[in-house]
Structure 1
Amino acid sequence: MSSVLDVKHVTRRFAGLVAVNDVSFVLDESEILGVIGPNGAGKTTLVSLISGTLAPTSGDIVFQEKSITKLPAFRRARLGIGRTFQIMRPFPGLSVLDNVAVGALFGRGGEADLAHAREKARAHLDFVGLGRFIDQRADELGGPARKRLELAKALAMEPKLLLCDEVMAGLNHVEIDEVIDVIRKVRREGIAIIVIEHVIKAIKSLSDRLLVLHHGVKIADGAPDTVLSDAVVIEAYLGRRRA
């Protein structure tokens, strides 16, 4: 199996703060990598470095055997990197359908025709279970539906790599299970996925592998059961006394 993504010794500094510190890992085709860690560990910064909304201070990011470190976010999207955002910001005033059509227009497929983009958008909305909301304004959706909208927008970009930033946060158990089912269906399409999540039970059942960040440093990377029983990981989450 060939690798889709190779993150090599990536560091990101903000003035005196090192948000991501010399992080390296490889992601294979159709693999789901869960990224976990305490608040402020650098998880979202890492995803932003991969998607191109932030530039690394040092290191290299290789996507499908080509360095993308110096490419802007829109070029990476065209190559096949899609992401959801922790803070959901649908395009205000646009329908659910047209929010997703934007992804089809500017993603890897680069759909030039709005009518065709809307066709693709309908298919992706059906895929995530939002087909009945296509004519509703996106900013009128409730929280759980907005999570699905984020997924549909990212999938409409036809990614080879999907970056999911807390798509299960704030959902109940039933909604979490539904999102997990959607992500598993995405993987069956051959898409590699990185998932940031605080719901440990969900991330454990979903991920092939877990990577743990703490103060920007990778402290563990391996099978979920092995990682979650690691004393260093337990201490990072619970503190030394409780661990």
Structure 2
Amino acid sequence: MKKKAGKLTAEELAAKHQTALHTYVREVWGTIPDETEVKLRSLKAWGFDLIAGLREGEPAVFVADAADGREAGDVYEERGERFEVREVLRELPRGARLVVRVTHEERRGVARLYYRPGRGEETELFALPAAELLLAYFKKRGWGKLLEAFHSSGLTTEFIQSRGSSGKAWPYEALPPKMRRALREAADTIKKRAGAGRFTLVYFGKNKDGEDRYVVTWLLPTIQLLDASVAEHVEGLLAALD
């Protein structure tokens, strides 16, 4: 008899139940900050230069793609506006800050970067889909595990790393040391580095070639992943599982 769509057999339901019971979770949720201050080196890590110059003839601070290699004296047009480079900033002026905000707009996460001078109004330097910024940033830094595992990005960003086929999930007591260590390090990362997040791990043992079979997921605040030290740490944790 043909199985009805959406209906699980008793065997499939038992397998799902067994997997659910042996999917281990590390999770902490607090308040995700609306904005955070970032260092100039983080802007560099994302692939941008911070520039002081003229925008449509008026003094301004703006960003340019670092790959363009802008230098003092350059004049160029972008999106119908004229820019003149006076200085590529190597450090922030005294009292100035860079602040990033991540919001949910039109069904996706959006990252906005602002320049706040010691005095005067803040300037929006860019507004980009969070996924676009993160993927370009991961690629620039050579973080292949984050690129491969990236799934979606809003106020939080999800990563899924899966290896091999599923099977009978192992109980915690039988997990190999590497998998137990992953759970410990995930808890530490969420609590001490990201401030909030969720990590899950289900382990199915090794395949015939002796390779681990598992599924790992991360759900982390997007705003924290814009901190290069946090993203690099998660890249290392994903790499350690292979």
TM range (shorter): under 0.3
Which structure: larger Rg?
A: 2
RCO (CA 8 Å, sep 6+): is it higher in 1 or 2? Answer: 1
Q: TM-score, normalised by structure 2?
A: 0.25
Higher relative helix content:
1
Q: If each structure's strand is expressed as a fraction of its own residues, which one has the higher value?
A: 2
TM-score, normalization: structure 1? Answer: 0.25
